[in-house]
Chains A and B, each alone.
Chain A
Amino acid sequence: MYNFALLDENSKREIRRALLKAIAIPGFQVPFASRELPIFFGWGTGGLQITLSVIGKDEILKVFDQGDDDSVNAVNLKRLIQLTTGVSITTETHIATLLQTRHRIPEKRLRSDQVLVLQVPMPEPLRKVEFRETETVRMHAEKDYGKMFVKLYEDVLHHGEITLASDYPVIVVDRHLMATTPIPRWDVPKLNQADNLYLFGAGREKKIYAVPPYTQVTPLSLDDYAFRMEDFKGAACVFCGSTHAYLNEIPAPGGGGQAHACSDTNFCHGNRKRQVIEK
């Protein structure tokens, strides 16, 4: 009924060619012919096309959204991929060989045999300071990133610190400025010298880019105002007690006030399972 992995072979080949170019020039945005899919642009079509193009029959797939394996979008993407490929699905980070994500990188360090695919809404980091595509292309070509530093300067001037919360721009191998997609600053250091391959896909904007393993990725900063990760001020997850994870604020279980919980649900479950066994 469907071709393996939904897309026709020529489309997959075209996307794989774009991926090879992206890996060869880390951080550089490669244009590609984004295909029609049975989901809307803006719901992960870029990530999905990459996943469908690189997936093999023996792959073990994990799809998660905001760190959660069971959110609606993640479940629907998983169903679509499983229906058209028949691969097995997991929620366990360490079992998966191919992972697709929106907004988070797993807390557990990924291995060299794993590939993480990120869904990207806005691939152009310079769009914040320059709305013309012709100009941003020129700025990348000439490594003319002064305007981006002006944004940091203005931030420090008006607010006393750099206010970029998510989608923190990074410089890849001292050459290309790259958008990190709306992952929190907490996840940005995971891109640097990683063991695994990162693939980024923006379906609506028709761009693919990549960070290969063991690549230098530096967050943009001023000499005296360094990049900082989120600070949870010692808060711990109400379920697993972790203080070394990216935490979401949730209404306290049982009512009354706020509590924190791990955003990476698989990481949180793993911690709790281990605590039960230890007891």
Chain B
Amino acid sequence: MKPLLSIINLKKIYGKGCDDCLGNHPTMGSDNRCPVCGSIVACTDINFEVFPGEVLGIVGESGSGKSTILNCINMTLRVTTGEIFFGNLKRDRQNILKADAQTRRQLQNIHFGIVYQNPHLGLNFQISGEGNVAERMLVAGNRHFEMIQGKVHRLLQRVELPVSRYKDFPGAYSGGMQQRVQIAKALINEPTLILLDEPTGGLDVSVQARILDLIRSISRELQVAMIMVSHDMQVIRLLCERIIVMKHGRIVESGLTDRVIDDPREAYTQTLVHSTIQ
């Protein structure tokens, strides 16, 4: 099978950068800083592939560069160097970082869906929950009110948002409902890749379980590829087939989820796996 997404030598640096940290394999210090010039190395030497319908997990502690990778793929962050190829058909496979503005917007609006931990990043609080989901269809060029509303309602029903709350503004929703609307928003245009940035962070355990159930059944039904960022090993174990472990902006270990969790090779992964509260 051909990969849907290939990340090649992705690097994101905040600060001036120097020959060392802008080079191929920068020296790793005791944190994200370049030991030579002091620039922040948000992520470097990132190489991985995502296949159609696959759920890939990215784990690591805060500041390890997980969200940076997602935002680079979603093109909301400018990468310093590197290439991101998207599309599993030869004719439309392209380096999305080199694409023109219109193509990039089309990718963002139609082919990608993103769910943020903070609903304020993913939702517009000035318009209704229903309008938030409809926005993606309108941006994609749909102009028929009844048709859009029908599709939006079917999806909101699928993510179990109470019918009586469709017209309410997101500020009036509970945290779990906001995440449901974000998921509906990410799904409405039937994307091929969904980016999940800690979608259940900050939710209580029972709500978290239902949202995870929802994500799992969606990934099975629709065969959509997902990249799931989390610091919660249990969540990752439940959803992902393959995982990547990150530290200080580098990939330190990757492999099948069961293998990495049951038999972690790197010292850092061992700490991470064993620091889970049982």
Contact = CB atoms under 8 A, between A and B. Distances in A.
Interface stretch (B13-21, B142-150, B208-216): B142-150
Contact of A149 (B130, B143, B167): B143
B143 to A, nearest CB: 5
Contacts of B145: 153, 156, 222-225
A243 B65 CA distance: 68
Interface string A52-66: 000000000000000
Contacts of B124: 150
Nearest to B127: A154
Contacts of A224: 144-146
Contacts of A156: 145
Given A222-B144, A224-B144, A142 B167 contact: no
B138 A144 contact: no
B135 A150 contact: yes
Contact of B138 (A141, A142, A146): A146
B131 A157 contact: yes
B102 interface: yes
A158 interface: yes
A19 B130 CA distance: 42
B105 A142 contact: yes
Contacts of A146: 109, 135, 138-140
Interface string A124-164: 00000000000000000110101101100110111000000
Contacts of A142: 101-102, 105
A158 B128 contact: yes
A47 B173 CA distance: 47
Interface in A150-184: 150, 153-154, 156-158
Determine chain B's interface SS by DSSP, over half rule.
Answer: helix
B72 to A, nearest CB: 20
Contacts of A149: 138-139, 143
Contacts of B105: 142, 144
A147 B101 CA distance: 17
A146 B131 CA distance: 12
Determine chain A's interface SS by DSSP, over half rule.
Answer: helix
Given A146-B139, A224-B144, A153 B102 contact: no
Contacts of B167: 157-158
Q: How large is the interface on B (under 10, 10 to 19, 20 to 34, 35 or more residues)?
A: 20 to 34
Nearest to A143: B102
B143 A157 contact: no
A153 B138 contact: yes
A224 B143 CA distance: 8
B134 interface: yes
B206 to A, nearest CB: 31
Select the residue from B102, B127, B145 with max chain A CB neighbours within 10 A: B145
A224 B127 CA distance: 21
A147 B140 CA distance: 11
A146 B188 CA distance: 15
Contact of B143 (A141, A144, A154, A222): A222
Interface string A19-32: 00000000000000
Interface in B133-175: 134-135, 138-140, 143-146, 148-149, 167
Nearest to A220: B143
Nearest to A223: B144
A150 B101 contact: no
Nearest to A148: B138
Contact of B134 (A141, A150, A158): A150
B156 to A, nearest CB: 13
Contacts of B146: 224
Contacts of A223: 143-145
Contacts of A150: 124, 127, 131, 134-135, 138-139
Contact of B131 (A141, A144, A154, A222): A154
Contact of A157 (B101, B109, B130, B140): B130
A154 B128 contact: yes
Contacts of B144: 222-224
Contacts of B135: 146-147, 150, 153
Given A223-B144, A224-B145, 6 more contacts: A142-B105, A146-B109, A150-B131, A153-B134, A153-B135, A153-B145
* 10 A-B pairs with least C-beta separation: A146-B139, A223-B144, A149-B138, A150-B135, A223-B143, A222-B145, A154-B131, A146-B138, A224-B145, A153-B134
28 contacts: A142-B101, A142-B102, A142-B105, A144-B105, A144-B139, A146-B109, A146-B138, A146-B139, A147-B135, A149-B139, A150-B124, A150-B134, A153-B135, A153-B138, A153-B145, A154-B127, A154-B128, A154-B131, A157-B128, A157-B131, A157-B149, A157-B167, A158-B128, A222-B145, A223-B143, A223-B145, A224-B144, A224-B146
